[in-house]
Amino acid sequence: MLELTTTRHNELIDPFFHAWGWEIPVYLFLGGLVAGMMIISGYFLFSGRYKETDCSCYYLPRLSFIFLSLGMLALFLDLEHKQYVWRLYTTFRVTSPMSWGSWILILVYPVLIANMLLRLPETTKQKIPLLKKISDKMNSSHNLIRNIGVINMFLGAMLGMYTGILLSSLGARPLWSTSILWLLFLMSGLSGAAAFVHLIAKNVYERELLAKADNGFLIIELFVIMLMIIGLVVSTQVHKEAAMLLLSGRYAAVFWVFVIFIGILIPLLLQLLAVNHKIHHTPLAPILVITGGIILRFVIVYAGEYSHWFIVK
């Protein structure tokens, strides 16, 4: 047995590393949700469904805009040296996912705005005639709409992946150092967004479609989680111990109960029954999926922070 003692006593670091509070998980969740929503609404634009007047692609960009801004606010709240936040945009660091992320976010906004401009609310149109003119002009080009759809999907995917890569680039935390985290967060973002649209969709067809899609995303997500854990378990001792934090350790209860059962398995079951018309669609399933998505971010961030390399000779 190796006894390790240390005299270090730094805040956020000891007795175990915990630099990020609620802000970063919330930021990652909202980022993922927006990513999913951008992909969905982009897909609807691309596939021409925007022609239907109750398509969710009308309001998704607006909601995305709000969620993304809330996410950015959470990120900002987490910064310890806020007065220097502008430093993010005086440089671009190729090696830093956080730098990539801040620039991706800069690109996401215009793309979201472009999407928003396609379907302006009537009141806005009346108040600001210039916007109406722009909007009408944009709507006159089917190609432009399709391209806006494509670029929304593309940047959405970038954003979704980035939320995972941000963590997995931090190799010091074994739980995160898995090359599959981007896929997990992307899938979780998609399933969360699908659930969200499912929850608020006015169009029955759309709701069905998204429930089905959500089921697909959830199954993939489950599969990715499995791959991730297998990957960790067969890697070094340190990585195995990190996986154990989720499977049987400090974070196992939350992981199994909230992420796996409540966040994936139960809504999957409910939605399978619903799409097969065994039961009515309930808002419960999407709510569970969204809750699971939030908790997944918390679990991965906190357990990841807790996972560590043992300093042995």
With respect to another protein, which residue has the nearer C-beta, 129 or 171? 171
Nearest approach in angstroms of CB 189 to another protein is 21
User: At residue 308, what is the residue type?
Assistant: H
Of residues 280 and 313, the one with the C-beta less far from another protein? 313
Taking the C-alpha atoms of residue 277 and residue 20, their distance in angstroms, rounded to an integer, is 43
Q: Which is nearer to another protein, 173 or 281 (CB)?
A: 173
Q: What span, in angstroms and rounded, lies between the C-alpha atoms of 32 and 52?
A: 26
Q: Minimum distance from CB of 69 to another protein (Å)? A: 18
Please report how close the Cβ of residue 72 comes to another protein at its closest, in angstroms: 13
Nearby residues of 217 by Cβ (< 8 Å), 6 or more positions away: 187, 190, 191, 194
Binding site for another protein (CB under 8 A): 1-14, 17, 19-20, 78-85, 87-88, 90-91, 93, 95-99, 101-102, 166, 169-173, 236, 305, 308-309, 311-313
83 vs 123, which CB is nearer to another protein? 83
- Tell me how far, at minimum, the Cβ of 90 lies from another protein, in Å: 8
At closest approach, how far in Å is the CB of 104 from another protein?
A: 12
Closest CB to another protein among 102 and 163?
102
| Residue 160 near residue 185, CB atoms below 8 Å | yes
Residue among 221 and 305 whose Cβ is closer to another protein: 305
Residues 6+ apart with CB under 8 A from 293: 29, 32, 33, 188, 189, 191, 192, 195, 263
Neighbours of 125 (CB within 10 A): 14
Minimum distance between the CB of residue 299 and another protein, rounded to whole angstroms?
16
> CA 167 from chain center: how many Å?
13
Token pair in block for residue 286: 């999407």
Return the ∠ at Cα 44 (arms to 287 and 49), rounded to 5°.
115
